Each structure stands twice: as structure tokens, then as C-alpha cells.
Amino acid sequence: MTAPTTSALDPGRLICDRSRSIDASGIRAVWQLSVTMKDPINLSIGQPDFGVPEPVIDAAVLAITEHHNGYSLTAGAPAIQDALWSFLGADLGWHRGDRHGALITSGTSGALVLAALAVAGPGDEIVYPDPYFILYPQLARLTGAVGVPCDTYPDFRMTAERIEQCLTPRTKMVVLVSPSNPCGTVMGEEDLRDIVHLCRSRGIVLVSDEIYDQFTYSESLEQGRCPSAARLWDEVLAVRGFGKTYGATGWRLGYAAGPKWLTDEMAKLQQYTYVCAPTPLQRAIPAMLAHDMGPIVRRFQARRDTVVEAFRGVTSVPHPGGAFYAFVEVPSRLGMTASAFAARAVERNTLVIPGKVFSSRDTHFRLSFATPDEKLAAGLAALRSLMLD
């Protein structure tokens, strides 16, 4: 039988408006570009350049060889839940019971999608910071809700005052990220306390995206920890992950902890979407929680200092107190957008992400310093040179 030369299906009629409203990630577009270049200086992707710690690998391999390869319970294997609750008790003072729940998720993105599906529907509003992690606007599109960006320029700090200007009677959820992707901003306890008070008084779900909590640099720590809204209000939904911290982004492991009424709904939705996080890899979580990442975090703090110093006197770099990104302003004297600047950087074999991928503005670019020191130095030299041309 001869294959038909034309499709019998009409994509224009079949693809729904929800899917059409979502563009492919600008980050992935740069990633695709990188594979066409010869040995690029890639400062675009937030992919840690260190390997997964050996005890963590050993735990995952052991789980596979001991045949922990089937489904787990939706919220996570019981032994992993036990380890997680031991950690949450020490870190947040939360304990498993009638008031609090937790579930292991397919990365932090999986947790954020489940939270949005559980809370937001058509006509509801989700407030998120601008600049934003690229998923946040899509949470609204996926759920039929309305995304409301909260302008945080020029210091990239989400404050109660800024959030309040975005609230309406239809607001269901506020998403806070600290340390920030793409800016590296870390919220202090005073600002977090004000945001908690605002959301609590308005009856709004506060989602605290803390995927980079273990990558918080010394000057931003409070009592040795990343400041967290979840320590100030036990009805915050704390979303955290393991991939960035332990160099295991492809393992797709995260978790959400918060009010049980919400985590129960998220677990119900996970049954019909992700089913469960990868079972053998879950078995590595206790080893992750026990592993000291301090030496690597200190190495990244030194890289952060190198990035800030490279642009000193040339342009503005709001201080990254955590994560492994800087959101660098394109000097206005150049008379170009960040997209145009990023295109010029490609000519020098250097990849960064233009700000419009993360924002309604195109004035900055995101630089990832999760890359070997020699590559970082070469990329910084190229970018500084472009600003001085």
C-alpha cells in the first residue's frame, strides 16, 4: 500500500488553544544552537558542571540492582517519606500528621504544575515575579487561569508592596522564588515576613519555590540556612528539588511540603499524570540529604564573585546571593536590546540567554556560571569586551 502524501488530519483544527498559547522555551532554543557550534562557551544552561556525589550514585545503583524498579506509592516510597520528614522536622519544624503533608515529585516543575492544577482554574489569577522562571507564566495557561507578572525591576526583589498592587479578588496563588532564577536574588526574612502576612490576611496560597535553597551564599544565610517563608507560616507550600543541588537534573526528583489539604490534592493529581517520581532514584534521596555540598557551594560563591568583578565599572549586576545565575544589564549606551547583544555574543562563540525569555523586558541577559572556571573566564572576557567596543 502506497503511503499517502498528505495528512488526513488538520492540525489547525485539532491543536487546542491552550497548546497554541505556549511557545517553545527560549532556553531550549539556545541549547539547540549550542550543538551546532564548535566548542562554544556555553553560559546559557543551568546545568551543574559537577558530577553526582558517589554515595548518591551508589544508593541509586543499589536500588536498581535490588529490584526497586516498579511503581512506588504516589507520594513516595515509605522509607523515603520517613527520611524526608526527618529532614523537614529539623529544617522547618514540621511533622507528618493531620496538618502537614509531603510528596516526592518529578522535579520541582512537576510540583509546581500539580500545585497550579490543584488551586487555579479558569478566571483565577496567579501572581509571579517578573523576571520569572520560564514555567511560571505557563502555569496559568495550563490551568486556564490568568498570569499576573509582578514587576521587580530594578533590584529584582519581590516585596509585599509590589505584590499587593497585583492582587484582585480573583487571586488564588502567589509564586515566590528565592534564590531566584534568573537573577540569583535571595529574599531576607523581613521581606518574607511581610509577604506571608499579606497572603495570610488575603487567604491566598503562597508557593515558595526554593529549588536553589542549598545554593545560598554565605552573606545571604540566616542562622546558617537559606531564609524560607515556610518557617514563618506553616501553610506555605514549600517546593524544593534535588537535581540542581546534587548535579542530577536528569533524575527528575523534587518534593512539595505544606498544608495536607493541598498536598493531598496534588497527590491525587499525580496519580493521573506523573504517577510517581522514578522509584530507584527516590532511594538515593536519603544519601542526598546526608551529603555535605558545602565545598561545591563555596566554589560557586567564588565564581559568583568573579562574575560580579568582571562587570564592575562596565554595567549593573544586581547582587546574586544564591543559585548560579547573574542577570546582567546591557549598558544603555550600546543602544541595543539584550537579544541583539546575545546575538553578538554568539559571534564570539559565547552563549547567554536574552532577558525577554524571562521577562516582559529585554534589557538584561542571564548568565549561568555553572561552567568550568576556564570557560567562565573566557566567556566573561568576551562579554566585557562587547560592552566596551
Q: Are residues 267 and 153 in the same domain?
A: yes
CA distance 200 to 62: 44
In this predicted structure, what is the pLDDT of residue 39? 80
Q: Is 59 among the domain residues?
A: no
Q: Which of 260, 290, 320 is the last residue in one of the domains?
A: 290
CATH code, domain with 256 = 3.40.640.10
Q: Are residues 303 and 161 in the same domain?
A: no
Cα atoms found within 13 Å of the Cα of residue 158, Cβ hemisphere only? 32
Which range marks the domain in which residue 378 is found?
22-46+293-388
Q: Are residues 187 and 102 in the same domain?
A: yes
Q: Is 352 among the domain residues?
A: yes
177-200 pLDDT per residue, tens: 999 999 999 999 999 999 999 999
Q: Which of 238, 263, 290 is the last residue in one of the domains?
A: 290
In this predicted structure, what is the pLDDT of residue 22? 77
333-343 pLDDT per residue, tens: 999 999 999 99
Q: Are residues 157 and 90 in the same domain?
A: yes
Q: Is the pLDDT of residue 2 over 90?
A: no
Q: Are residues 192 and 264 in the same domain?
A: yes
CA distance 198 to 210: 19
The pTM score is 0.93
In this predicted structure, what is the pLDDT of residue 166? 98
What the block records as the C-alpha cell of 236 is 506555605
Q: Is 13 among the domain residues?
A: no
Q: Which of 290, 315, 344 is the last residue in one of the domains?
A: 290
CA distance 241 to 260: 19
CA distance 209 to 50: 23
Q: Are residues 247 and 277 in the same domain?
A: yes
Q: Are residues 277 and 310 in the same domain?
A: no
Looking at per-residue confidence, does 285 or 3 come out higher? 285
Q: Are residues 317 and 177 in the same domain?
A: no
Q: Are residues 180 and 243 in the same domain?
A: yes
Name beta bridge partners: 354: 365
Whether 363 and 321 have beta carbons less than 8 Å apart is answered as no
Q: Is the pLDDT of residue 1 over 60?
A: no
Whether 129 and 152 have beta carbons less than 8 Å apart is answered as yes
DSSP state of 252: -
215-261 pLDDT per residue, tens: 999 999 999 999 999 999 999 999 999 999 999 999 999 999 999 99
CATH code, domain with 28 = 3.90.1150.10
What the block records as the C-alpha cell of 221 is 544565610
Q: Are residues 130 and 203 in the same domain?
A: yes
Q: Is 9 among the domain residues?
A: no
Q: Is 371 among the domain residues?
A: yes
In this predicted structure, what is the pLDDT of residue 14? 84
Q: Are residues 284 and 174 in the same domain?
A: yes
Instruction: Tell me how crowded residue 220 is: count the other CB atoms within 10 A of its CB.
Output: 20
Which letter, b or e, does each residue of 334-359 get, where b requires 16 or more Cβ atoms within 10 Å of its Cβ? Answer: eebbbbebbebbeebebbbbbbbbbb
Find the length of the chain.
Answer: 389
DSSP 314-369: TS------BTTEEEEEPPGGG---HHHHHHHHHHTTEE-EEGGGTSS--SEEEEE-
In this predicted structure, what is the pLDDT of residue 15? 86
User: What residues contact residue 322 under an 8 Å CB cut-off, 6+ apart?
Assistant: 178, 179, 180, 184, 185, 186, 212, 213, 215, 216, 217, 220, 226
28-47 pLDDT per residue, tens: 566 566 556 678 899 998 89
Q: Residue 211, Cα to own-chain centre: how many angstroms?
A: 6
Q: How many domains does the chain have?
A: 2
Q: What is the mean pLDDT of residues 330-334?
A: 96
Q: Are residues 121 and 185 in the same domain?
A: yes
CA distance 314 to 384: 7
Q: Is 42 among the domain residues?
A: yes
Cα atoms found within 13 Å of the Cα of residue 313, Cβ hemisphere only? 4
